[in-house]
Each structure stands twice: as C-alpha cells, then as structure tokens.
A and B are shown apart, each in its own frame.
Chain A
C-alpha cells in the first residue's frame, strides 16, 4: 500500500450539511415528525383512493348521529362501550373491551359523528398535496426564470426583473385569493393561487447566485469547452446553487399549508373534503357548545407540522448556507 495513494474521503457540501444536521437534535426530531405526517398522509391518500375505487362514501365522511359529539377516548368511561358496537356478541373480557374502547374514535367525533382522527389524517393528506404541488409550480418558475435572467443578463434580465417586481408589488394574500377566485373554487384554485404567486423570492435569490457563479472559473472552463448556455446553466451552475432550492422548499412548505388552511376556512379552498381549514371552521361553531376536542386536535396537528418544518428549515439553512439568514425577508 502506497501511502500517497490513500485519499481522504471528500467532504461534499451535502455530507457536511448532513453531519451538521445530525448533530442538531431538534432538527432530527422535526424530521421524524415530518416523516410521520408524510406516512399518515400516504395512508390518507390510500384510503381516499380505495373509497374512490369502491365508489362508496369514505368512513371519514359517513355521518352517524348516534355517535355525535363523542369526546376523545381517554375522556370516556373506559367500559361504557361505543354504542354501535355494544352487543351480545361482544367480547366479555373487560380489559379487551377497554382497549377496544380506546381505539374506537381515539380523538372523538364531530357534530355529525365523524371520526376526528381520520379527518385530521385526511387534512394532512391535503396539506401535503398543497405543499408539494404548489412547490412543483412555483419552484420551476423561480429557478428557470432566475437562471435565465442571471445567466443571460441584458434584455432577458430586464424582463424577468420587471416580471418579478410586478408580482412582488401585488399584496400577497389578496393576490393568492384573487387568482384562486378566477381559477374557481376548489383545490385547483388553491394550487394555482399559491403556486403562481410565490416564486418571486426564490427567483430573486437564484438570479443573484447565478450572476455570481457566471464569472467563476469553472463556468469559464465549461464555456471554453464549447458547452451551450442551457447545459452550463442547468448541469453546471444549478447543482452548485441547489441548496437554495432545498432551503426555499422547506420554508415555503409551512407557509403553503397555513395559506391552504386559511383559504379552506374562508370557503374558497377545498370543497367537500375534510381539510384542516374546513375542520377549523366547523369546530369553531361547536366550540361555544363546549366541544373542544376537534378544535384542539386540528390546531395541534397544524402547529406540530408547521413547527417541524420551521425548525428543520432553520437547521437546513444553518447547515447549508448561513449567509441566507440575513438576506431573508
């Protein structure tokens, strides 16, 4: 073994960042929370499509007035038995019955006897859909326009800067709501409203970074090898600034979720499906009657996922690009 051949394993930006992230316990905990939510959302998606395929009303939509306003299971008398399941064929063992009792409607039911837990899971499904799809709309717009503007400069740059300063000058939430109104009520309106209006910040950052990288030696090398501008932009420069996209994704996700909640609450978002916003607007009316559980659990569900994304986004930003901290907002 020749000693000089021994190489030190390379430290890429990503492995460095991962090491730093792993050291941050809060960030790892947030990551697990996000993974858990994602799994629940996938389960929700599965049940949704299963019922679509069976062409029946999903159980989270089935109303059962016999079970309305059931409190969360730990607040119920342990042996009372859920009304529907009480019968002679039921298992007589008291412990088993108590366990069964705990598992039925763990978070209680709402005013129509629908299971709060299942509805919250469906809400998570919609929240993830909104987060992912709006990112799929906004991020490509921001990245492509930012790259083009930064790389070509001149007229292209003028046009892109004009476009994003125009978009930036329209009051955010109103703009989103107006786009959604024009696109029509429903999830499509939410996607388009959020997706088409929130690419500006990313575009601005990417444009600045590309401008900086354009003068670097490796771009010059690529250019002198005769590579075309598209190849240089997307194969050479973009990987070097991709961390910005990741950070922006993790920070826009909770914002998109909150906006969706808000829109659904106002009635321009999701129609006829249990989203978090709709659950809040439903639970708000029951709150005055002392039905606190639906409100509490939905609120908690939103809080946890948004907090997890905020913490993870911060940690990611610190790990990947501490400079961005000051240029934010």
Chain B
C-alpha cells in the first residue's frame, strides 16, 4: 500500500510541473507585457519598470546574461521615430544602401542620449550601437559626475571607429552607488555619424536569474506577489477569501449531494414510473436554465419582490440563504442525472437480484446494498469536487457581494490583476491534483485490484 501511494505521489510531480509550465506560458510568455496590460499604455516607463521589477518580469524568460530595460527603450531608427526627432542637428535619412532609416548626427556637437529614469545602482549595463561612420572617429562619453563607484569598460570600439561598412560597438559600464547624475553623450568629430540602432541592456545577476526561476521561487515560498489593485499580498488575500468561499460552497455541495442522492434513489427504486420520468424531465429542464437566470430571478423575485432574503451583502448567516438555495437548485439537474445513472447501473447487478430473491425489502436493498456499492463513484465525485469548493462560486459571490475567492477572481480578471489570477489558478490546480491522489488512495483502500493494476 505504501509503495502504491509513493508511486502515485511520484506520478503527481509531472502534473504539478505541467501546471507550473502552463501558468507560466499563459501569463509570462503569451500575455505580452503584463505591466502594460494592468497599468495601461499611458504610464511612465518608470512605473512600468517598477511593476516588472516587483514581479520579476524584467528578467529573461528562462535564462540569459542580458536583459532589456525600460530606462532606454530599444530604439531602432528603421522602425521608430527617434527621440532626436525634434533636434535640428539630426537628420533622418532613409539610406538606399541596405541601411534603412537612420538618425544622422551632424559632426562637432554633443548629443545627449536621454534616459527615462535613472539606472539601477551597482549594476552592469551595456550599450549596443549599430552605426556607420565614413571618416574620423566618434566619441561615446559617460558623464558620471557625483558617482563614485561607476566605471566604464569598453568593448570592441572606443572611440567609435570609422570604416566603409556598418559597424557595431558595445560599450559596457557599471553603474555606481548614485546613478541620478549619469549622462551619456555621442559626438563625432569629422563626418556625420549614421546610427541605425541603439540598445541598452542590463546584466542579470547570474545566468539563471530568469522569470521562470523567479516564478519557481515564488511557488516554493508560497509567496504569490502583490495584487496590483489593492496592493495587498496575494497570499494574504487568499487567506482572507477562503472562509467566505467555503461558507458558501460547502453547504451548497452537501445539501445538493444529499438531495440528489436521495431523489436518485427514489428514481432508481421506481424506475420508469411517472415519478421517475417527471424527475428526469425536471432535471433536464433545470440543466438548461442558465446560471445567470437563476441568480437574477432569485434576486428579483425572492429577495426584492417577496423580501424573504436580504439582496446583497455578507453580514450574517441570513445573507447566505439565498445564494445557497440558488446554488443547490442550479446544480440539481446535473447531480440528479449523474447519481441516477450510477444507481441504475448498480440496480441491475446480480447481487441485487439475489438480495431481492432472498426476501430483503426494496428499501433494504436500496439503502443497505445499492447505496453501499454506489459509494465508490459517489466518493470519487465528492473528492474531485473539493478543489472546486475552494475557488468558490464565481458568479454567486460577485452577485451577492460575498467577499470570497470567486469574487476576487472575477475582479482580478476584470482588471487584469495577473498575480491574483495566477495564484488562484495555480492553487486550484494544485488542490485538484491532491484530490486526485486522495481519490486514488481511497480507491486502493476499498478495492485491492487497483493497487496491483
């Protein structure tokens, strides 16, 4: 038995890893820039960078020594209008000889390369400049007045050399303690400097300092970052939200279960009678009514018109009555059909016939024999439903103003609050995997054939 459980736990690992990968792909790779998605497009580069910094989004995806920074948005003069657009000494040229658009800096002047915000202290950076210079040389100057620790190390070309072809220069420097006064200048002494691209890259602290590793670290520490909406810790929000969710879903689940099982037993007992058929028809009709309609109708008729229940809020147990009722009735159709099928499956087994032939009463057969054997699929269904209790009922909570995880999830999705969504999705999946494991162990306990299979 222990061996079996161990094997199942080992089988769980790939699934958990899969969930991590899928949430990562979904939110980090496909999602584009989460900062832009949450904060909108009209915010400063600085706040975008801060957002990314907090959530580890400013790192390379899986590994890498260099990563982009928003301090200087990568400027391809071929595509973008450059930041020197309004400077009269800079002409923009669409070069015919495979160079595309270029910014051409006239000689003899200092050109400041603007930064959106001051750089991170004590970090290595690298300028990558693609240029063409016909004659003379051009200097790249770093003005680090007031910055003690900074130094410049030059790679490849210093100063920028002239040559007949397009060239690339990489200039590496370390920012010191105080980066607020850091300025960068370009100047060519003889002929115009034609630049096709300037990029600023930031060095990562080590090769695997990546988004993926950051995410793994968050998961291991069970720290899911901060909500952008309320600026609360996500783990804290989860903790606060779980109780209201459970208060709502647990009663719905158990009342629904008991009602559905008892009625399905009645249906199985009187199979093909008018009673059974009525219930089947009721079930399929209930199934076809949209969840939204249940909620709106319940709120309008039962709470507003008749005044039996409070309409909205979460103050005492009375506020839970209506949502629980709606939850039970909207799930009733599905549940009844499911359990009726299970019961009917069991009703035609040999042991039922034997028991009946032996003279056991119908009720006795139902409750003592059939129900016991039907327990296995029922149990599976119950355990598998547990993770869904945790996410709460998205709609019920947001309609009735119950501050649970479902409500939180919907808000987060509406406002693209990535960290919260990711945390809820991830924990929901984790619970599901755990519940699956639990079901299998229960199966193995009940049915020895499973263990050996």
Contacts and interface: CB of A to CB of B under 8 A. Distances in A.
Contacts of B345: 326
B388 to A, nearest CB: 6
B450 interface: no
Contacts of A265: 292
A177 B413 contact: yes
Given A163-B18, A165-B18, A171-B391, 11 more contacts: A166-B429, A174-B428, A178-B27, A178-B421, A182-B31, A262-B290, A267-B414, A280-B296, A299-B290, A306-B287, A328-B338
A162 B26 contact: no
Interface string B17-29: 0110111001100
Instruction: Place the interface of chain B in its size category.
Output: 35 or more
A284 B284 CA distance: 25
Given A178-B413, A182-B26, A299-B290, A310 B284 contact: yes
Given A179-B26, A295-B296, A325-B341, A171 B291 contact: no
A307 interface: yes
Contacts of A166: 15, 18-19, 21-22, 429
Contact of B27 (A162, A182, A302, A325): A182
A170 B27 CA distance: 14
Nearest to A174: B425
A17 to B, nearest CB: 20
B285 interface: yes
B291 A170 contact: no
A66 interface: no
A182 B416 CA distance: 8
B391 A280 contact: no
Contact of B292 (A163, A175, A262, A325): A262
Nearest to B391: A171
Nearest to A196: B26
Given A306-B290, A325-B341, A326-B345, A170 B296 contact: no
A167 interface: yes
B278 interface: no
A287 interface: yes
B296 A171 contact: no
Interface of B: 14-15, 18-19, 21-23, 26-27, 30-31, 284-285, 287-293, 296, 300, 304, 334, 338, 341-342, 345, 381, 387-388, 391, 394-395, 409-410, 413-414, 416, 421-422, 424-425, 428-429, 432-433, 436
B150 to A, nearest CB: 40
B425 A171 contact: yes
A311 interface: yes
B338 A169 contact: no
16 contacts: A162-B18, A168-B432, A174-B409, A177-B410, A183-B30, A261-B290, A284-B296, A287-B296, A288-B300, A299-B293, A302-B293, A303-B293, A306-B289, A326-B341, A326-B345, A328-B338
**9 residue pairs, one from A and one from B, having the closest CB atoms:** A166-B18, A307-B288, A171-B428, A169-B432, A306-B288, A182-B31, A170-B429, A169-B429, A299-B293
The size class of the interface chain A forms with chain B is: 35 or more
A268 B421 CA distance: 14
Given A175-B425, A325-B341, A329-B338, A169 B14 contact: no
Nearest to B422: A178
Nearest to B296: A284
A68 interface: no
A198 B70 CA distance: 38
B424 A174 contact: yes
A49 to B, nearest CB: 28
Contacts of A165: 15, 18
A181 interface: yes
Nearest to B380: A329
A287 B305 CA distance: 11
A311 B287 CA distance: 11
B101 to A, nearest CB: 30
B432 A171 contact: yes
A86 interface: no
A183 B30 CA distance: 8
A288 B291 CA distance: 19
A173 interface: yes
Contacts of B287: 306, 310
Nearest to B424: A174
A274 interface: no
A254 interface: yes
B401 to A, nearest CB: 15
A273 interface: no
A266 interface: yes
Contact of B421 (A181, A295, A303): A181
Interface in A170-226: 170-171, 173-175, 177-179, 181-183
A325 B341 CA distance: 7
B285 A307 contact: yes
Contacts of A318: none
A258 interface: yes
A178 B23 CA distance: 9
Interface in A262-311: 262, 265-268, 277, 280, 284, 287-288, 295, 299, 302-303, 306-307, 310-311
A182 B18 contact: no
